[in-house]
Amino acid sequence: MSTNGAKSQRHAIPALLALPLLLLLLVPVVMLVVRTTPRAVAQEFAHRETLQAIGLSLATSTMALAMSIALGAPLAYWLARTRSPLAKVVEALVDLPTVLPPAVAGVALLLTFGRSGPVGALLSKLGIELVFTPEAVVLAQMFVASPYFVRAARAGFASVAPAQREAAINLGASRWAEFRSVLAPLSGPSLAAGAAMCWSRAIGEFGATIIFAGNLPGRTQTMPLAVYVGFENDLDRAIVLSAVLICISLVVLLGVRLTGWRFPGADS
Amino acid sequence: MRAGTLSRICVVLAACAALAASSCSRHEAGEPQSRSRTLIVLAAASLADAFREAGSGFEAVNPGVHVDFAFAGSNQLRSQLESGGPGDVFASADRRQMEAAAASGAVDSGSTTPLCGNRLVIIVPRQDRAGVHELADLARRGVKIVVADRAVPAGNYTRRMLSRASELSRFGPAFVSAFDANTVSREQNVASVVAKVALNEADAGLAYSSDAAGGNGSKLTVVPLPVDLEQHAEYLVAVASGARDVALARKFIAFLLSDDGQGALANRGFERAVHP
């Protein structure tokens, strides 16, 4: 009893100290869900703009994730393997978008891919204009979200000891077989966790999108934009869409934890 | 070790607090003759440049008075006032927002006065690549138009102009649907409309004539709307119900309506207030 009591007391103090932050993080989220009535959800889901926003968000964030994996995996692999002193600089640069205010990212993208920008002017000559298109939404999402995947994938690749891989090669495995049977399974959980973070961040992207891609229902108005617009015009829509976003993100984040994928840096 | 770090942080924090306190007291001691008074003015985003100029003029003739501004969409400022936020003077970009503020008791409705006028115009980037010379050009295929969302006063005026155009035989509903099909973005304030046109990302936008006189003016060309589709924006100003210094708030409004204040507004492309 006495040792048990002392033990629970020892836990009670940190738990008590943790309470204010937990409440700060939880109560606003709970308030949103509580304010959502099934009737409001049904009503909002009958609106075309609501469904368009959800559909567009799912499509663009999935596209942003696919592109982040396709382009991010090679970068992460290089970062994990290289001994180049440049790697530290590249790593810092890759992390930069995650700490930039999203509005800054939006302006930067506009100045680059806008039709007066260097890349945009070139594309414009080919008849491609990105600003105000769904493709611009995907680019904005990639800009802010892909670093999460690269960071996780780099840690995942780095956690596979070279010895393990050499062993496979020495046993006669081809590069592809080595990748499939050693590298992929060992770094898989990190890749999956990184993909989940990347996707969640992409679907929540707001600031860069509204500056770079604008706001047009059915074309560039994603869920976060519809929430912002709804906050001023139609609070019910803002609340319902916020609740939908929260549910989606919660499912992804919980899924990652319950299936035991680990976030690099979080536990090692 | 850890206690040492903690105590060092405490010392730094205490030093910061002391510094802040001393700078506050110095601030107060600096203006001893007339007690320093601060006026908080909430004004529509489009008024920013003109009000800053008028504010310095007001401070110059009223020693010891300091004017603080908050510029945002009129609708945002109104909801701030309604939820009890601080503010002595409220200037809105349309009658709708001012009437809503008066109805909810956020402003003293008896003090409401017309402040100045503005006009909805088409703005086109200097390197006018789409060749926009008149309203009808906006219906041409491929012209990229940026407008303000209808919740914003500028977007409200745009919608009104379009619904009027749909009734005119030379425009009609076909013009309006072509205009809507060309619309690439509905921005959340008129300043974003101006920025995107000034950056040459859109071929045309609908904004105020005063925007062309602002900081981005050199990057824009103004195309007026046809006379029968003109939209006049009416700006109004009032004393907030929660004003701490009603006399000072009234004095500032009187200054805005004086030749000095109206001059600052005219410099930025605003029209003189029409007093009923």
Task: Let me know: does A206 contact A102? Beta carbons within 8 Å.
Answer: yes
Report pLDDT for B30.
Answer: 39
pLDDT cut 70: percent of chain B above it: 87
pLDDT of res. B26: 41
Contact A214 B146 (CB under 8 A): yes
pLDDT per position as a tens digit, A87-105:
999 999 999 999 999 889 9
Give B-chain residues touching A229 at CB under 8 angstroms: 149, 151, 186, 188
Place A13 in a pLDDT band, splitting at 50, 70 and 90.
confident
Mean pLDDT to the nearest integer, B187-207:
91
Report pLDDT for B190. Answer: 86
* Residue B29, pLDDT score: 40
When pLDDT is averaged across residues B210-216 and rounded to a whole number, the result is: 80
Question: What is the pLDDT at residue B12?
Answer: 52
Distance CA B233, CA B155 (A): 11
Q: Under DSSP, is residue B193 helix (H, G, I), strand (E, B) or coil?
A: helix
Residue B15 has pLDDT above 90, yes or no: no
Confidence of residue A32 (pLDDT cuts 50, 70, 90): confident
What is the pTM (predicted TM-score) of this model?
A: 0.77
Q: What percent of chain A clears pLDDT 90, i.e. is strictly above it?
A: 47
Parallel, antiparallel, or unpaired: how do β-strands B89-92 and B232-239 relate? antiparallel
Residue B179 above 70 pLDDT? yes
pLDDT at B5: 58
* C-alpha to C-alpha distance for B269 and B273, rounded to whole angstroms: 12
pLDDT digits (tens, 9 = 90+) for B60-107: 999 999 999 998 888 888 988 988 889 999 999 889 899 999 999 999
* Cβ neighbourhood burial of A47 (10 Å; 0-12, 13-18, 19+): middle
pLDDT value at residue B275 = 65
Judged by CB atoms closer than 8 Å, whether chains meet at B185 and A132 is answered as yes
| A110: chain B residues, CB-CB within 8 Å | 199, 201
What's the alpha-carbon Rg for chain B, to the nearest Å? 23
Q: How far is B217 from chain A (nearest CA, A)?
A: 18
Please, what is the average pLDDT of chain A?
Answer: 86
Question: What does the pLDDT average to over A37-50?
Answer: 86
Contacts of A211 in chain B (CB under 8 A): 192
Residues 6+ apart with CB under 8 A from B217: B211
β-bridge mates for residue B69, sequence order: B41
Tell whether the model's pLDDT for residue A168 goes beyond 60.
yes
Q: Is residue B276 over pLDDT 70?
A: no
- Under the banding of pLDDT at 50, 70 and 90, the label for residue B9 is low
Residues with Cβ within 8 Å of A142's Cβ and at least 6 positions away in sequence, in order, are A64, A67, A68, A202
Q: Are B135 and B122 in contact (CB under 8 A)?
A: yes
* pLDDT average, residue stretch A74-85: 90
Decide if B185 and A214 are in contact by the 8 Å CB cutoff: yes
Degrees, nearest 5: CA angle B57-B63-B66: 70
Q: Do A132 and B202 touch (CB under 8 A)?
A: yes
**Most confident of the following: A238-242, B222-226, B266-270:** B222-226
Handedness of CA A190, A196, A200, A205 (dihedral sign): positive
Task: Report strand pairing: B37-44 vs B65-72.
Answer: parallel
The SS3 of residue A62 is: helix
Q: What does the alpha-carbon distance between residue A98 and residue A200 come to, in Å, rounded to a whole number?
A: 13
pLDDT(A3) > 70: no
- What are the chain A neighbours of B45 within 8 Å (beta carbons)? none
Tokens representing A45 are 């889901």
Residue A124, pLDDT above cutoff 80: yes
pLDDT interval class at A267 (50, 70, 90): very low
What's the pLDDT band for A10 if we cut at 50, 70, 90? confident
Q: β-strands B183-187, B145-148: how paired?
A: parallel
- How far apart CA A267 and CA B117 sit, in angstroms, is 61
Per-residue b or e along A126-156, where b marks 16 or more CB atoms closer than 10 Å to that residue's CB: eeebbbbbbbbbbbbbbbbbbbbbbbbbbbb
Cβ pair A229:B187 closer than 8 A: no
Q: What is the pLDDT of residue A265?
A: 44
Q: Cα–Cα distance between B194 and B118 in angstroms, integer?
A: 15
Q: How far apart are CA A154 and CA A143, in angstroms?
A: 17
- Asked if A225 is an interface residue toward chain B (Cβ–Cβ < 8 A), one would say no
**In this structure, is the dihedral angle defined by the CA atoms of residues B178, B180, B183 and B189, taken in order, positive or negative?**
positive
Which residues are CB-neighbours of A151 under 8 A, at least 6 positions away?
A: A76, A94, A95, A194, A264, A265
Residues of A in contact with B185 (CB under 8 A): 132, 214-216, 220
* pLDDT of B112 higher than 70: yes
Residues 71-130 of A with CB under 8 A from B: 110, 114-116, 129
Those residues with Cβ within 8 angstroms of residue A70's Cβ, 6 or more apart along the chain or in another chain = none
Contact yes or no for A215 and B184 at CB 8 A: no
Radius of gyration of chain A (CA): 22
For range B10-39, the mean pLDDT: 51
What is the pLDDT at residue B151? Answer: 81
What is the rounded average pLDDT of the residues B220-243?
94
Does A149 have pLDDT greater than 80? yes
CB atoms within 10 A of CB A43: 14
pLDDT at A158 over 70: yes
Q: Which residue has the tokens 């701030």?
A: B80
Asked if A232's CB is within 8 angstroms of B76's CB, the reply is yes
